[in-house]
Amino acid sequence: MAKARKNNTVKLSFDTLKYAPAPESKSSATINAQYDLFINGKFEKPLSKKYFDTINPATEEKLSSVADANTADVDKAVKAARVAYDKVWSKMPAKERGKYIYRIARMIQERAREFAIIESLDGGKPIRESRDIDIPLAANHFFYYAGWADKLAYAFPNKQPKPLGVAGQIIPWNFPLLMAAWKIAPALATGNTVVLKPAETTPLTALKLAEIIQESDLPQGVVNIITGAGATGAAIVNHPDINKIAFTGSTDVGKIIQRAVAGTDKKLTLELGGKAANIIFEDAAIDQAVEGVINGIFFNQGHVCCAGSRLFVQESVYKVVMQKLKDRIASLIVGDPMDKNTDVGAINSKQQLATIHQYINIGKKEGADIFESNCVLPKKGFFCKPTLFTNVAQSSRIAQEEIFGPVLAIQTFRTDDEVIEKANNTPFGLSAGVWTDKGSKVFNLTSKLRAGVIWANTYNKFDPTSPFGGYKESGFGREGGLHGLSAYLNAL
């Protein structure tokens, strides 16, 4: 006993008694061999005549071919959206708009299983997450904003809220359907029409959503979903007949977009990168804090803009937090996203995996200490071991730049003021987490941290009623809640 205490090397083991495979069946989802562009209520061949492949990042197998929209296709989609706005959607009683949005919400729920399967196949996220988080939340966003459609006068009392017109929406690959819901639901509820472009690596659930929209009898052209890569996105941003751009993605692209719309009267909201600080104080409930840190950085393989990618631990509890973190990482199941027991799935693309590996190398070169899970990665597909870096300084690149993967940079602190200063010492400001048993400390921190979302004693909690968005280079504008409505209205 004394020996174990002296060495402090007591180690838990999670190796034996593996869970038998529990794969979700793929049979209840249909993926077409080829998808065209959803314009004016119909699937239409692209004028570009070009298609590109979307693959399953866990197996590197092709799932489908998807149309690559060029400038002419974008123009066609914007024209359809403009006609739908002028002739139908802006004139329709708000109550009727709400009914359509409710219908879409219910249809997503009815086909939740199919959506979850396709989301995991196309994006690599664990089926548990797409089943329990992405898809239910996406449906909830439609339900929530459907309720607001005929109550805008109450949301903005003494003002006359008016829709903006045609909204161009560009979404990322980390939460494909959920981001589509975040964008489309408030736009429709406020009376705008939409041209939406999903990310090129994860277009399939947005195209499934297009099928639902078609079945829902939503008037033609109200929602147009077109696929393509950066050039397609640029064509949307630069189209002269678009009134509003909503973008979620990297800070670099966000800056390009902001330059492009400067001098036009397009309204803009940007939800960009982050490098969130997750802060554990010595008086925190340590086991729950460790669980929150795990959830904060390994949820969706760390492909989360608000991921808690910097961990600050008060020095007095540093040792015990590290021991618990390492043992917890050893119990994470990494592998096949379609297995119901998988905790950490596949990295979204080869390119992203290379970026993550590059940062891991930078961390090593910077002299930080690396700790990796001892899990065995599948031979095929894009996978990355859950990784911790300790001995990280504020000046390390792995503590400054967004890695967007399962890599956590850990630093220590001594006092409240010190951690506030360090946490704020970043160009980003999307989110933060505070772990303490003391209510007054929570309020002190939340008022001083410069971040759009701050969680106390929890992390990565999302709700349609709660606004989400960033400070500084994490963007501007809010999605969710009442704030999310105002991003699509002129309320004068």
Partner 1 sequence: MAVIHQTLAVPDFSLSPRIDHVGIEERAARFTKRSIKAETKINGLKLALNMIDLTTLEGKDTDGKVKQLCYKAQHLHDAYPGLPTVAAICVYPSMVSVAKKALGNSGIKVASVATAFPSGQAHSDIKIRDVKYAVNNGADEIDMVISRGKFLQGEYNFVFDEIAAVKEACGIARLKVILETGELVTYDKVRRASDIAMYAGADFIKTSTGKISPAATLPVTLVMLEAIRDFYYKTGKMIAMKPAGGISKSKLALHYLVMLKETLGDAWMNNHWFRFGASSLANDVLMQLEKERTGVYQSANYFSVD
Of 96, 437, 465, 482, the one binding partner 1 by CB under 8 A: 437
443 interacts with partner 1 by CB under 8 A? no
231 interacts with partner 1 by CB under 8 A? no
Residue partners of 357: CB distance under 8 A and separation at least 6? 384
471: Cα separation from own chain's centroid: 17
Tokens of 19: 């869970």
Q: What's the min distance (Å) between Cβ of 22 and partner 1?
A: 4
Q: What's the min distance (Å) between Cβ of 10 and partner 1?
A: 5
Of 65, 323, 355, 466, the one binding partner 1 by CB under 8 A: 323
28 interacts with partner 1 by CB under 8 A? no
Tell me phi and psi for residue 30, to 5 degrees.
-110, 130
10 interacts with partner 1 by CB under 8 A? yes
Q: Is 424 exposed, middle or buried (0-12, 13-18, 19+ CB in 10 A)?
A: middle
Query: Taking the CB of residue 289, how many other CB atoms lie within 10 A of it?
Result: 29
CA distances from 432 to 311, 313, 441 (A): 10, 14, 14
- Nearer of residues 13 and 395 to partner 1, judged by Cβ: 13
**Rounded to an integer, what distance in angstroms lies between the CA atom of residue 64 and that of residue 209?**
16
- Residues noted as catalytic: 271, 305
Binding mask 340-379 for partner 1 (x = CB under 8 A): xx--------------------------------------
Q: Are the C-beta atoms of residues 58 and 370 closer than 8 Å to each other?
A: no
Q: Which amino acid is at 227?
A: T
Q: Which stretch binds partner 1 (CB under 8 A): 11-19, 35-43, 180-188, 307-315?
A: 11-19
Q: What's the min distance (Å) between Cβ of 276 and partner 1?
A: 18
20 interacts with partner 1 by CB under 8 A? yes
151: Cα separation from own chain's centroid: 28
DSSP class of residue 23 equals B
Full strand arrangement of the beta sheet holding 453-456 = 369-372, 387-390, 407-413, 310-314, 277-280, 431-435, 453-456
- Nearer of residues 88 and 332 to partner 1, judged by Cβ: 332
Q: In angstroms, what is the C-alpha Rg of the chain?
A: 23
466 interacts with partner 1 by CB under 8 A? no
Q: Which amino acid is at 313?
A: V
User: Between residue 99 and residue 158, which ones bind partner 1 under the rule CB under 8 A?
Assistant: 128, 132
Q: What's the min distance (Å) between Cβ of 272 and partner 1?
A: 29
Q: Which stretch binds partner 1 (CB under 8 A): 81-89, 289-297, 412-420, 421-429?
A: 289-297
Q: What's the min distance (Å) between Cβ of 163 and partner 1?
A: 39
220 interacts with partner 1 by CB under 8 A? no
Binding mask 301-320 for partner 1 (x = CB under 8 A): -------------------x
Q: What's the min distance (Å) between Cβ of 277 and partner 1?
A: 19
**Rounded to an integer, what distance in angstroms lies between the CA atom of residue 120 and that of residue 128?**
9
Q: Which amino acid is at 126?
A: P
Tokens of 411: 């630093």
Positions touching partner 1 (CB under 8 A) are 1-5, 8, 10, 12-22, 128, 132, 283-289, 291-292, 320, 323, 327, 331, 340-341, 437, 457-458
